[in-house]
Amino acid sequence: MPARNDELRDALKHAASALKAQGPEFALAGSYALWVHGGPEPVHDVDFVVAEEDTETAAKTLEEAGFRIDRPPEDWLFKAVTGGVVVDMLHRLNGVPVDSATIRGADVIEVLAVAMPVLTPTHVVAEKLSSLTEHHCDFAALLPGVRAVREQVNWAHVRRATADNDFASAF
């Protein structure tokens, strides 16, 4: 079992605390959301979602909290960096703008002693599968997290949400 990644955990708590205190609404997403529900702990970064119209407010909040804001060429996220840790702030998922309904659909769960909205396993799995393409189709990377939360996933919803993606169907 790999050691805990205290730097990632600290960044997760720091970002969530700042966003809770100053806004905007947000939700924990990606592999850390799956970790909250029993998946393996991520080792690379932390993902949060904010509504697309709240992107600049989120960047300002995190910058004021001591994060360095990086704007990569991808137009669907910005990166908040603290120390050597990256927190990805996504405002589009697979080309679809994140809206407040997505965030309100998250469950509030205590994560590392901080209550925060966390996307459901069904939502995260559907998004991860929707991102599969002929250029990025790594089932091996998805299997541990999806296997760990498989009984919490509404598979009928995932199948409907990913019906137009042959790679997701194969998974």
pLDDT in tens, the chain (171 residues): 445 699 999 999 999 999 999 999 999 999 999 999 999 999 999 999 999 999 999 999 999 999 999 999 999 999 999 998 999 999 999 999 999 999 999 999 999 999 999 999 999 999 999 999 999 999 999 999 999 999 999 999 999 999 999 999 999
pTM: 0.95
Cβ neighbors of 123 (< 8 A, separation 6 or more) are: 102, 105, 106
Listed residue (70, 40, 36) closest to 140, CA to CA: 40
The packing angle between helices 121-130 and 139-149, to 10°, is: 170
pLDDT at res. 3 = 53
Pick from 106, 102, 123, 116: nearest CA to 53: 102
Quote the CA–CA distance of 33 and 111 in Å, as a whole number: 9
Q: C-alpha angle with apex 72: 68 to 75, nearest 5 degrees? A: 120
What count of other Cβ atoms lies within 10 Å of the Cβ of residue 151? 10
- For 135, the token pair is 């250029």
Structure tokens at 13: 């708590």
Quick: pLDDT tens for 57-74: 999 999 999 999 999 999
